[in-house]
């Protein structure tokens, strides 16, 4: 067994370039850059001159078969993640796919099904925000039952303002055929993952999605969703790319408490002394009267804890790379198994489909219908091939 | 012209009792208690002993015809507001109805239509929160166009925790036949009004409503609504009576700014230097790059003002009484014209209907269908007569 994983980076764009730099600077102790692939000659030249000893390829399949890499990361447009993941795994190469795992569930299912036939290989996904200790702690609190069964979730997350120039940077961006969506596939996938990682998978969604609302783009720049978790539990998710004064506020209300997360930095955890229903049922008429006269203090019914962590932002990505490599080297459990990637894609697909049909859509959605609707939009856009 | 309006109070419950006390203590300088009506002998006895010179009636129609009152306030169960309002106006008595104006739009329309035939009489509604200077200021800011055209609204308002004992206080409470709903007709009508008073009337709603979710009641204790204002503008409204650690957070995002109201006490008003779309469209590629490298400061793009008022809570109700009397006495414009009451009722009806049908419902809803659905619930409850 080698002591360092040789990572092949497919696509030296913003993300791929950042990972290369992190590994080169030693931020991922159990990883080295095995090779780099990019179809753009300028990027290859840059790679060659920056990382002198690293082999550089034009074709990623050639890199996969070179013997230079033990694993790859797919920092390429979203549509390509599944096929590249499968190509790597089928050649005995470990695969770390970028988020989102793909654009539509059908292609992600293929990836997951193929990966399941290769249990000896490591299959991960870059959900770096799972590496945020604040969200890890919140997941622990929720899973331990400290705030009880979840009643509702509310996440307003609009802290990613994107001016028109961002969308005009490249031809594939914010197109149906090149990117497969807007804020749902580009900015919010981490929250789609965290929400389900912490609070579970909803049963259905109803969504209002605004396409090219305040930007000159074909895809969505604003999303409003009602989530139904079943058994009376509900939630709301709101996101947009046109809010300069962004809001990031996440509330989780449970039978025994409430967590309020501000700016993904501070969590205020309120723990009730008993189950809320029990407090409600056992309060005497006299106490209820006192309450309405302002003489009963509800604050005596719960404790409040504030949780804050300070940690460099970059450590999230390098942490996922390190955890992925550790899983390969010694079986350390994966923080973000690749097969989890389908949850966010499925939720995004259901949200799109609900907005297109004006109906509530089950998470167990009609995948053929989704792909058909997506292809209708790709066709009328006329810039990229339809998807199968 | 008399210099003080003689108010007849119909129903000496919690609200009626509070208004009597306020007027008696001189908090409403242009009003005196003209008479009091209550069907409960104990309440009449209390009235007699507390307000010695005030005539007390068992039957409100007798009071209306006694010559003792110039105006009435209807502090009685919601269903009764329209018929009592009409009874007063038809006898030349000014009418101030309690909120909500009624339970279903059909009955409120009758009231509004009748009131329109009596323009010489004053017809008001107790929307005391319109008297909150914070919301008045916010309305001014929105109407002046300072934050531009509204893009979205988000109101999470769960600051009215109601234990089971509250619901068990009386037989009509939280029933379909006695009250006509739960949090939508009892707690949130002020917000249903303020939201539309400040931000306009939505075109349609989709709602998830939980009936007896965490309380042993037939009606709703939790509501989640997506509002569609048309032209791409949307909103979310969430309310519940089972959240001890209540949240009250209202955000209004416009083309030129954003207002965040916390706890109905503090408003943070962000004003953009220019229309957001213009900022977005004119930002150069270089500036976009700087932004992503964290070198562009978006805070330079807006100013921030914090608005806070301190004012006694009770002044809201006495202020509405005083404004209503002033309108009678000298034509001072009404802060809350009675005809505005239909907006909140219509929104509440649309929310109920959406939850019952699982469909998005236009605000111009099928009123017969609503009443039919309501009566179905009253019938199966079997405690109160159906409504016509």
Segment B266-285, tens digit of pLDDT: 999 999 999 999 999 999 87
By Cβ distance, the residue of B151, B270, B287 closest to A245 is B270
pLDDT at A349: 98
Which residue is associated with the tokens 């497919």?
A10
By Cβ distance, the residue of A163, A224, A281 closest to B236 is A224
Terminal-to-terminal C-alpha distance of chain B: 39
Q: Which of B13, B24, B84 minimizes the C-alpha distance to B4?
A: B24
pLDDT at A284: 84
Listing DSSP states for B295-340 in one string gives -S-GGGGEEEEEEE----THHHHHHHHHHHHHHHHH-PPPSSBGGG
Q: How many CB pairs under 8 A join A and B?
A: 149
CA gap B51, B33 in Å, rounded: 9
Strands (E), B99-168: 123-125, 150-157
pLDDT at A290: 84
Q: Is B276 on the interface with A (CB under 8 A)?
A: yes
The whole-number average pLDDT for the span B79-94 is 98
Using the 8-state DSSP alphabet, how is residue A98 labeled? Answer: P
Beta strands A31-37 and B56-57 are: unpaired
CA gap B262, B272 in Å, rounded: 20
CA gap B364, B362 in Å, rounded: 5
pLDDT at B289: 81
Find all residues with CB under 8 Å of A132, minimum gap 6, and list them: A264, A309, A311, A316
**Exposure b/e, A143-176, CB count within 10 A at least 16 = b:** eeeebbebbbbbbbbbbbbbbbbbbeeeeebbbb
> In 3-state terms, what secondary structure has residue A209?
strand
Distance (Å) of CA B114 to CA A266, B73, B80, B117: 55, 17, 15, 5
Summary mean pLDDT of chain B = 95
CB atoms within 10 A of CB B169: 12
Residue stretches of chain A with pLDDT short of 50:
1
pLDDT at A65: 98
A333 is written with which tokens?
A: 């459990």
Angle at B117 between CA B113 and CA B121, to 5 degrees: 110
CA gap A262, A278 in Å, rounded: 29
The whole-number average pLDDT for the span B47-74 is 98
CA gap B113, B115 in Å, rounded: 5
Whether residues B163 and A288 touch (CB distance < 8 A) is answered with yes
The whole-number average pLDDT for the span B96-119 is 97
Shortest Cα–Cα distance, B14 to chain A (Å): 11
> In 3-state terms, what secondary structure has residue A68?
coil
CA gap B351, B189 in Å, rounded: 12
Whether residues A243 and B258 touch (CB distance < 8 A) is answered with yes
For residue B234, the chain A residues in CB contact (below 8 A) are: 208, 210, 222, 224
Whether residues A226 and B228 touch (CB distance < 8 A) is answered with no
Distance (Å) of CA B298 to CA A160, A212, A242, B280, B306: 11, 22, 12, 11, 19
Q: Is A18 on the interface with B (CB under 8 A)?
A: no
Condensed to tens digits (0 to 9), the pLDDT of residues A324-368 reads 999 999 999 999 999 999 999 999 999 999 999 999 999 999 999
pLDDT at B97: 98
pLDDT category of residue B351 using cuts at 50, 70 and 90 = very high
CA gap B77, B98 in Å, rounded: 9
pLDDT at B312: 53
Q: What are the structural domains of chain B? A: 5-127+314-338 (3.40.50.720), 130-310+344-381 (3.30.360.10)
Listing DSSP states for A153-165 in one string gives EEEEE------HH
CA gap B191, B31 in Å, rounded: 27
With residue B235 as reference, give the H or E element that holds it: strand B233-240
Q: Which of residues 200 through 219 in chain A touch B, CB cutoff 8 A?
A: 206, 208, 210, 213-215
CA gap B73, B264 in Å, rounded: 26
Do A150 and A253 meet the contact criterion of CB atoms below 8 Å apart? Answer: yes
Whether residues A151 and B208 touch (CB distance < 8 A) is answered with no
Shortest Cα–Cα distance, B69 to chain A (Å): 31
The whole-number average pLDDT for the span B99-113 is 96
* Cis bond before residue A71 (omega within 30° of 0): no
Q: Which of A251, A361, A325 minimizes the C-alpha distance to A70?
A: A325
A328 phi/psi in degrees, rounded to 5: -65, -45
Q: Which of residues 333 through 362 in chain A touch B, CB cutoff 8 A?
A: 358, 360
Do A363 and A350 meet the contact criterion of CB atoms below 8 Å apart? Answer: yes
- What value does the CA radius of gyration of chain A take, rounded to a whole number of Å? 23
Listing DSSP states for B175-208 in one string gives -TTTTS-STTTTTTHHHHHHHHHHH---SEEEEE
């Amino acid at each position: 067994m080698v002591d360092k994983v040789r990572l092949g980076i497919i696509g030296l764009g913003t993300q791929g370039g950042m990972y290369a730099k992190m590994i080169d600077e030693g931020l991922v102790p159990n990883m080295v850059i095995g090779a780099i692939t990019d179809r753009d000659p300028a990027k290859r030249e840059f790679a060659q001159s920056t990382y002198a000893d690293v082999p550089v390829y034009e074709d990623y399949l050639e890199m996969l078969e070179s013997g230079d890499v033990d694993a790859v990361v797919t920092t390429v447009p979203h549509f390509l993640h599944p096929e590249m993941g499968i190509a790597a795994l089928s050649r005995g190469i470990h695969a770390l796919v970028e988020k989102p795992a793909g654009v539509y569930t059908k292609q992600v299912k293929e990836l997951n099904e193929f990966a399941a036939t290769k249990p000896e290989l490591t299959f991960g996904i870059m959900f770096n925000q799972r590496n945020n200790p604040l969200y890890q702690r919140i997941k622990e609190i929720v899973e331990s039952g400290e705030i009880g069964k979840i009643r509702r979730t509310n996440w307003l997350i609009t802290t990613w303002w994107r001016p028109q120039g961002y969308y005009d940077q490249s031809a594939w961006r914010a197109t149906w055929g090149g990117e497969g969506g807007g804020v749902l596939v580009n900015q919010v996938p981490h929250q789609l993952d965290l929400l389900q990682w912490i609070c579970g998978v909803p049963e259905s969604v109803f969504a209002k999605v605004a396409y090219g609302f305040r930007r000159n783009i074909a895809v969505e720049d604003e999303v409003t969703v009602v989530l139904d978790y079943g058994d009376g539990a509900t939630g709301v998710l709101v996101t947009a790319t046109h809010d300069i004064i962004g809001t990031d506020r996440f509330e989780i209300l449970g039978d025994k408490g409430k967590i309020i997360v501000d700016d993904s930095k501070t969590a205020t955890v309120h723990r009730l002394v008993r189950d809320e229903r029990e407090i409600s049922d056992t309060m005497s008429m006299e106490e209820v009267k006192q309450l309405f006269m302002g003489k009963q203090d509800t604050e005596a019914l719960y404790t409040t804890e504030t949780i804050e962590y300070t940690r460099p932002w970059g450590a999230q990505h390098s942490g996922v790379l390190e955890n992925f490599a550790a899983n390969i080297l010694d079986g350390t459990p994966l923080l973000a198994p690749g097969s989890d990637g389908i949850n966010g894609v499925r939720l995004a697909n259901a949200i799109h489909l609900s907005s297109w049909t004006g109906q509530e859509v089950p998470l167990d959605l009609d995948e053929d219908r989704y792909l058909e609707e997506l292809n209708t939009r790709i066709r009328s856009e006329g810039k990229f091939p339809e998807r199968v």
